[in-house]
Amino acid sequence: MEKLQAVKGMNDILPPDSARWEWLEARVGALMARYGYQNLRTPLVEPTALFVRGLGEVTDIVEKEMYSFVDRMNGDDLSLRPENTAGVVRAVIEHSLLHDGGKRLYYMGPMFRHERPQKGRYRQFHQIGAEALGYPGPDVDAELILMCRALWRELGLVEGRDLRLEVNSLGQLDERRAHRAALVAHFEAHHDLLDDDSRRRLHTNPLRILDSKNPALQPLIEAAPRLLDHLGAESRAHFDGVRAALDAVGLEYRINPRLVRGMDYYNLTVFEWVTERLGAQGTVCGGGRYDPLIEQLGGKPAPAVGWALGVERLLLLLCEAGVAPPATAPRAYAVLASPAALVRALPVVEVLRAAGVSVLMHAAGKDGFGSLKSQFRRADASGAAWALIFGDDELARGEVALKPLRARDGRAAGAQFTRVLADSAEWARELLDDNPPL
């Protein structure tokens, strides 16, 4: 039979690695709550038109990265979501979420882009994103950037060392138009140096040439006219507002006048958190303001700003930076003398679990529970701190033996003692104590 495999560029997330994902997701959920952001979950499949209208036709994503297909049942044009800002905006419009004021939202989940798979770049990957809709001021731009810093710190990353913040302003449409004319003139004057992609974009979306990853183009991009020099008073004031807020909390950043974002819907503030530790896939998180998008997708005009981070890249960075989430071994491993011991052990183990102790039960094989020796080998391999020994002698006395499996603080492991089965609710907490009295 033909061997079935996962689709190229789409990964299984296996234990024990999946524990790192759960650890990260739990931290993100708690952090979002502290900043007042609520969870929103939208479908993985959306009408293709949402992304074409939302992201713009001349973007990498819409031009060449989308998984688009026709629904065989009804002929609908659908796409796997390549990002989630458009989906969030669609949901916000569809359910009139802004009727009573602004909304602060976040999401986590898989996205799909048909790219060349490599380290930090996959076809199914995961994003965590935050969006604040209905708030026009630079205060909320700064809040969103600060949430990122809080997340890095919470995870044990150090800003400045592991991640740096870059910011820019894209101004408003009319300001970009004036800049665009200057930009086209600059690139036309060096037409022979452009690559095919850039030549094509020269007259459709020249700003995106600044986003090119082609190293040969970098000197030309460096010398291009700066959008920041074309900003009007209002845009400049907004940018200054963001900077003042970042300065107030001592968050360091670099103004990168070449920073543009891949999507057409951005205006004013744009930012990226970048790292030197991941090679070419150095952008961990990107975001900015996208005031035109809600109206562009058919909603009542309302401002919006947000960011998305790549979970795989963040986890890779955590590895590179030597951050290891706490190990996830069970607290205790239950060793059973015989099948008859099981019915005595189960009620006790259930009480312990209800009290917050994680207990791995030794599972029977075809020939029963096996020797105590082999069960202890399993207990050791599980990484558990304790073995709970439901032996015949102990059970006959209405007791269970508790054996510490690992040495701590210079004390030897192994001095076992007994506890009364019927009192398990009382001694459960002893199993959670890292330094039990001897």
Q: How far is the CB of 125 from ligand ATP (least distance, A)?
A: 3
Tokens encoding 304 = 């919006």
Q: Is 137 exposed, middle or buried (0-12, 13-18, 19+ CB in 10 A)?
A: middle
Binding of ligand ATP by 283 (CB under 6 A): yes
Angle between helices 138-155 and 233-248 (to 10 degrees): 30
Q: How far is the CB of 126 from ligand ATP (least distance, A)?
A: 8
Q: Which one-letter DSSP state was computed for residue 99?
A: T
Nearer to ligand ATP by Cβ, of 143 and 312: the residue is 312
Per-residue contact flags (x/-) with ligand ATP for residues 176 to 205, judged by CB under 6 A? ------------------------------
Nearer to ligand ATP by Cβ, of 115 and 154: the residue is 115
Region 123-162 residues binding ligand ATP, contact defined as CB under 6 A: 125, 127
Binding of ligand ATP by 310 (CB under 6 A): yes
Q: How far is the CB of 307 from ligand ATP (least distance, A)?
A: 8
**HSE toward the beta carbon, residue 305, CA cutoff 13 A:** 21
Distance CA 333, CA 359 (A): 6
Binding of ligand ATP by 312 (CB under 6 A): yes
| Nearest CA among 156, 209, 211 for reference residue 185 | 209
Q: Which of 107, 122, 135, 239 binds ligand ATP (CB under 6 A)?
A: 122
Q: How far is the CB of 317 from ligand ATP (least distance, A)?
A: 10
Q: Which of 56, 134, 206, 286 binds ligand ATP (CB under 6 A)?
A: 286
Please write down the long-range contacts of 346-353, taking CB distance under 8 Å and 24 or more positions apart: 348/388, 348/390, 348/400, 348/421, 348/424, 349/388, 351/424, 351/425, 351/428, 352/388, 352/424, 352/428, 352/431
Residue 368's beta-bridge partner residues? 365
Q: How far is the CB of 283 from ligand ATP (least distance, A)?
A: 4
Per-residue contact flags (x/-) with ligand ATP for residues 379 to 418, judged by CB under 6 A? ----------------------------------------
Distance CA 401, CA 395 (A): 9
Nearer to ligand ATP by Cβ, of 159 and 430: the residue is 159
Q: How far is the CB of 197 from ligand ATP (least distance, A)?
A: 14
Distance CA 413, CA 403 (A): 8
Distance of CA 222 to the CA centre of its chain: 31
Closest residue to ligand ATP: CB criterion: 310
Region 248-277 residues binding ligand ATP, contact defined as CB under 6 A: 262
| Nearest CA among 379, 373, 401 for reference residue 388 | 401
Per-residue contact flags (x/-) with ligand ATP for residues 60 to 99, judged by CB under 6 A? -----------------------x----------------
Angle between helices 48-55 and 85-94 (to 10 degrees): 110
Name the one range near ligand ATP by CB under 6 A: 102-110, 282-290, 337-345, 404-412.
Answer: 282-290
**HEC string for 385-405:** CEEEEECHHHHHCCEEEEEEC
Q: How far is the CB of 430 from ligand ATP (least distance, A)?
A: 44
Q: Which one-letter DSSP state was computed for residue 416?
A: -
Residue 404's beta-bridge partner residues? 386
Virtual CA dihedral for 65, 263, 41, 141, nearest 10 degrees? 150
Nearer to ligand ATP by Cβ, of 178 and 221: the residue is 221
Nearer to ligand ATP by Cβ, of 48 and 283: the residue is 283
Q: Beta strands 399-404 and 45-47: pairing type?
A: unpaired
Name the one range near ligand ATP by CB under 6 A: 114-122, 367-375, 384-392, 394-402.
Answer: 114-122
Q: Which of 208, 238, 289, 313 binds ligand ATP (CB under 6 A)?
A: 313
Q: Which of 281, 296, 328, 418 binds ligand ATP (CB under 6 A)?
A: 281
Tokens encoding 207 = 């700003």
User: Interface residues with ligand ATP (CB under 6 A)?
Assistant: 83, 113, 115, 120-122, 125, 127, 262, 281, 283-286, 308-310, 312-313
